Every structure is written in C-alpha cells, then in structure tokens.
Amino acid sequence: MIIFHYDKTFEGLLTAVFDAYIRKTFPDKLLGIDDLEPLFVDESYTVITQDDKSERVWKALEKKTQQGVRNMITYVWLSELPGSDELIFRYIRKTIDSKHSIELNFTDDDVLQMQKLAQKVGRERMRLIELVRFQKAADDIFFAPVSPDHNSLPLTLDHFKDRFADQKWVIYDTKRNYGYYYDLKTVTEMTLDSTGLFPEGKLDENLMAEDEKLYQELWKGYFKSMTIKERINLKLQRQHLPKRYWKYLTEKQ
C-alpha cells in the first residue's frame, strides 16, 4: 500500500496529484500530515504544498474539462465527507489519462459518486440562499448565523453580495467557526469569538438593534395569524425544510 500525507487543503491535494505523476507512483490512500498510517505500508510520502504545482494541475484541468466539471470538483471538496479527497484524486487522474471526456461516463462509479456528492452540496447551497435570516445588530450590521452539513457557505457569496449590495453584513458558519464580512465593497473572510454570540441560532438580544426585536415579533405574529392549525403537517415540513434549519427561522422560534 502506498500512502501520501498532505495538509488537507485543496492546493495540497492538487500538489499531491502533481507529485504522483512526477514520481510515477499513485497513492492507495491519502492521509493528513499527522494521521497514523495503517499496517503493512509499502511506501509513505509527504506532500509539500506548492502553489506553482497546484496551479499547473488546475490549468491542465482547464484545458481538458468544461467549467461545470471544475465546479463539480470544487463542490465535492467542500462536501468535507470522508474519502472525498481520494475520490477527487481518482477523478482527476482519470480525466488527465483519458483521451476523451469522462464527464458523462456514469458506468464509472467514481464519476457517478462525484455527480451525486456535487448535487448534494448544490442542494444545500440553495437551502442557504433561501433560508439565511439576517438580524440587525446595534451597529447596523446584519448578522446571519448558519451551520450547514457541508462547507457550502463560500458558494453563496456571489448571491448575497449581489442581493444585499447596499447593506453591511456578516454570514457566520458557527459549525466551522468562520464567516464572511461584506463592507459594501468587498467580501472578507473572518473569525469571531462566537461563544455565546448566537444562542439558539439567534444573535444575542443584547447586541440586537431595537427595531430588530420589534420586526421579529411582528413577523412571528403575522406567521401565527396566518397559520391554519388544522392544516399543520410537521412531517411534510421536515421533508421540505430539514429541522436543523428551524432554529435560524424567526417564525419557528
């Protein structure tokens, strides 16, 4: 068994692809830098991430694939599911080695799994776009906490930058403890000491603008008045709107 260790970054994964072709040895398993190796390892190699190597691999993919394929690779990486990096590695290798496009070769299990994972992340991206709820803070910045199963927040930034171009906002992934701040011009990645900042999926009331509390109460009142109790179907609601999103919805508080 051949093992490659790398730093678990996307650039590191592309560097691993480059090194594998240079060495003419391809890994059976990809591990983090400090991960323990399984028994009976024949060869172990540590990848040193280099931007020039990762860029060369990406440019090779640009020559051989359409934009949709490269988007799919990015989506699968952001899935963060165990083994997704090894799946991407195999897919890139097959793409580079094949004389023809493998994009629609669904008889290949790796191609099929890539499509399924990318679709799953794409669905979560759409849920974030549809369900993010901003709350106005006392300093007039709009906050929105989220905690998606996959690392899909970066895929939504173009939408929110366009949709809320006239407002300063922060969308924060509480599960991964990072987010993005928009200052009316650019979007910047950021981290916060979020301990106690978003209790129960909401901005702490002490940090809310006064009118935000009023608007939330008005919205909950409207939602309650429009609800027909006899037609409440929680099973159907959970089917179309997974319960893990409910804590972020004002009307579900």
Give the residue numbers spanning the domain of 185: 132-252
pLDDT of residue 72 exceeding 90, the answer is yes
Whether residues 38 and 82 share a domain: the answer is: yes
pLDDT level of residue 172 (50, 70, 90 thresholds): very high
Nearest to 189 by CA among 171, 202, 174: 171
- pLDDT at res. 194: 65
pLDDT at 64: 94
Residue 133 has a pLDDT of 87
- Alpha-carbon distance 110 to 94, whole Å? 9
Whether the per-residue pLDDT at 247 is higher than 70: the answer is yes
Q: What percent of the chain has pLDDT over 90?
A: 67
Query: How many separate domains does the chain show?
Result: 2
pLDDT, tens digit, for every residue of 195-228? Answer: 667 766 677 777 777 778 777 777 778 778 888 8
Answer yes or no: do 137 and 217 share one domain: yes
Whether residues 116 and 138 share a domain: the answer is no
Q: What pLDDT digit, counting tens, does each position of 109-160 carry? A: 999 999 999 999 999 999 999 988 898 888 889 999 899 999 999 999 999 9
Which pLDDT value is given to residue 12? 98
pLDDT at 244: 79
- CA distances from residue 28 to 3, 39, 89 in whole angstroms, order as listed: 6, 13, 10
244 and 139 part of one domain: yes
Domain boundary among 124, 144, 172: 124
Instruction: Indicate if 77 and 164 belong to the same structural domain.
Output: no
pTM: 0.86
The answer on 138 and 70 residing in a single domain is: no
Q: How much is the pLDDT for 201?
A: 63
pLDDT beyond 80 at 253: no
What is the C-alpha to C-alpha distance for residues 243 and 227, in angstroms, rounded to an integer? Answer: 18
pLDDT number for residue 195? 64
Residue 85 CA, chain-centre distance (Å), reads 14
pLDDT tens string 34-66: 999 888 899 999 999 999 999 999 999 999 999
Q: Are residues 148 and 70 in the same domain?
A: no
Cβ neighbours around 1 below 10 Å, total: 13
Statement to judge: residues 65 and 21 lie in one domain: yes
- Given this model, what pLDDT does residue 151 score? 97
pLDDT at position 149: 93
When pLDDT is averaged across residues 87-98 and rounded to a whole number, the result is 97
